[in-house]
């Protein structure tokens, strides 16, 4: 995939090239939903937050409310307690108070951690500079955010500290607050397949149609014992998403194609959707 680009390198890229670029051919296929990361990488340089530069413009009235509430809460003496973080993250909370003046970087570089490293996010964003097809694919990656509702992979955002389970006072618990908003404004077409790599808090904010969503998880099998893989499931989710996006072939357009692509790299199990549950694609790890 080529030499890795650091966040500092990519934050200097001009947004007319990958954020507001021309609309080229896109192969469609699966829509990918990701969780944000708790930790985020602050951009070294870049324009400050501008909600008009984000996708999903009809979410901007709600985004403004959350930004305002987060700034207000982050200035309080009990901000750490209200945001559910410890003293070691005081600098992150202080940064919240200046959030609309902080430099921004593509979402796939701002979010960091196991999933995004396994995905090869920095490489993908760097390669999108010379590949409009890849850039379009990254715009079909959607990160669900307590602050913005959802953003696509190339939307320019600042580093912030806020979780979907947080109660922001007048707004209440954010997963509950965002749910009716996203139900109306984040839509998928009837023909789309949705690969859902999110955690439960973020699924609660937008469960999606069960007959189109496929959740991705992992289990560890030792003999006849099975156990759910929790933290390291992030690695396999990121790895699989990275493989899909970097593949020169068209993205899977059906559930069967999605499962077949996963079978190329992993042992998998597939459980079809039911009335109350989406379909589940499970990577099986054997010791």
Percent of the chain with pLDDT over 90: 79
Q: For residue 167, what pLDDT is reported?
A: 94
Q: Write down how long the chain is.
A: 287
- φ, ψ of residue 126 to 5 degrees: the values are -60, -40
Q: For residue 64, what pLDDT is reported?
A: 97
* Angle subtended by helix axes 233-246 and 132-139, to nearest 10: 140
What DSSP state is assigned to residue 231?
A: T
Q: For residue 28, what pLDDT is reported?
A: 61
pLDDT tens by residue, 257-277:
999 999 999 999 999 999 889
Residue 12 has pLDDT above 50, yes or no: no
pLDDT tens by residue, 168-200:
988 999 999 999 999 999 989 888 999 999 988
Do 107 and 11 form a contact (C-beta atoms < 8 A)?
A: no
- φ, ψ of residue 54 to 5 degrees: the values are -90, 155
Other Cβ atoms less than 10 A from the Cβ of 259: the count is 16
Residue 6 has pLDDT above 80, yes or no: no
């Amino acid at each position: 995939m080529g030499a890795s680009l650091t966040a500092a390198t990519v934050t200097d890229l001009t947004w007319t090239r990958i954020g507001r670029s021309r609309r080229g051919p896109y192969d469609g296929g699966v829509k990918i939903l990701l969780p944000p990361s708790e930790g985020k990488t602050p951009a070294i340089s870049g324009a400050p937050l501008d909600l008009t530069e984000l996708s999903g413009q009809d979410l901007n009235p709600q985004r403004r409310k959350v930004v305002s509430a987060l700034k207000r809460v982050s200035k309080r003496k009990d901000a750490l307690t209200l945001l559910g973080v410890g003293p070691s993250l005081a600098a992150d909370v202080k940064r919240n108070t200046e959030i609309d003046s902080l430099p921004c970087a593509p979402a796939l570089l701002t979010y960091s951690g196991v999933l995004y490293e396994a995905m090869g996010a920095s490489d993908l964003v760097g390669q999108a500079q010379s590949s409009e097809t890849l850039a379009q694919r990254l715009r079909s990656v959607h990160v669900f955010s307590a602050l913005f509702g959802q953003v696509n992979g190339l939307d320019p955002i600042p580093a912030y500290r806020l979780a979907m389970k947080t109660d922001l006072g007048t707004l209440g618990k954010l997963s509950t607050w965002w749910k009716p908003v996203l139900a109306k404004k984040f839509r998928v077409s009837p023909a789309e397949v949705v690969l859902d790599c999110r955690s439960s808090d973020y699924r609660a904010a937008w469960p999606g149609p069960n007959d189109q969503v496929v959740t991705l998880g992992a289990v560890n099998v030792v003999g006849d014992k099975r156990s759910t893989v929790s933290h390291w499931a992030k690695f396999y989710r990121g790895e699989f998403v990275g493989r899909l996006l970097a593949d020169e072939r068209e993205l899977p357009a059906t559930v069967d194609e999605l499962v077949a692509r996963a079978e190329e790299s992993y042992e998998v199990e597939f459980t079809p959707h039911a009335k109350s549950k989406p379909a589940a694609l499970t990577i099986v790890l054997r010791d």
